[in-house]
Amino acid sequence: MRKILITGANGQLGSELTIELRKLAGNENVIATDISEPDKSQREGLFEKLDVLDKELYKELIRKYKITEIYHLAALLSANAEKNVETAWGLNMNGLLNTLDLARKFEIGKVFWPSSIAVFGPDAHKNRTPQESPCNPTTVYGITKVAGEQWCAYYHRKFGLDVRSIRYPGLIGYKSLPGGGTTDYAVDIYHKAVKGELFNCFLSRDSALPMMYMSDAVKATIDLMNAQADRLTVRTSYNVSAISFTPEEIANSIKKHIPGFSIRYEPDYRQEIAASWPDSIDDSIARRDWDWEPDFSLDKMTMDILRHLPNLIEKTSSME
At its nearest, how many Å lie between ligand SER and the CB of residue 118?
Answer: 5
State which residue, 15 or 182, has the beta carbon closest to ligand SER. Answer: 182
Assess 129 for contact with ligand SER (CB under 6 A): no
Among 158, 251, 236, 237, CA closest to 198: 251
Assess 116 for contact with ligand SER (CB under 6 A): yes
Label each residue of 116-174 as H, E or C.
Answer: EHHHCCCCCCCCCECCCCCCCCCCHHHHHHHHHHHHHHHHHHHHCCCEEEEEECEEECC
Among 47, 45, 102, 43, CA closest to 72: 102
- Taking the C-alpha atoms of residue 229 and residue 233, their distance in angstroms, rounded to an integer, is 9
Q: How many residues bind ligand SER (CB under 6 A)?
A: 11
Stretch that binds ligand SER, among 112-120, 158-166, 218-226, 280-288 (CB under 6 A): 112-120
Q: Judged by CB under 6 A, which of 18, 41, 68, 78 binds ligand SER?
A: 78
Site mask, ligand SER, residues 162-191, x = CB under 6 A? ------x-x----------xxx--------
Q: Judged by CB under 6 A, which of 118, 161, 163, 234 binds ligand SER?
A: 118
Tell me how far CA of residue 288 lies from CA of 67, 130, 225, 232, 239, in angstroms: 30, 14, 15, 9, 12
What sign results for the dihedral spanned by CA atoms 52, 54, 56, 57? negative
Stretch that binds ligand SER, among 20-28, 66-74, 114-122, 226-234 (CB under 6 A): 114-122
Tell me how far CA of residue 100 lies from CA of 144, 195, 200, 275, in angstroms: 15, 43, 40, 32
State which residue, 101 or 246, has the beta carbon closest to ligand SER. Answer: 246
Residues marked active site are found at: 141
Assess 144 for contact with ligand SER (CB under 6 A): no
Q: Judged by CB under 6 A, which of 32, 77, 263, 306 binds ligand SER?
A: 77
Residue nearest to ligand SER (CB): 181
Tell me how far CA of residue 21 lies from CA of 106, 178, 294, 296, 305, in angstroms: 21, 22, 19, 21, 22
At its nearest, how many Å lie between ligand SER and the CB of residue 183?
Answer: 4
State which residue, 119 or 254, has the beta carbon closest to ligand SER. Answer: 119
Secondary structure letter of residue 55 according to DSSP: H
**Which residue ranges make up the site for ligand SER (CB under 6 A)?**
77-78, 116-118, 141, 168, 170, 181-183
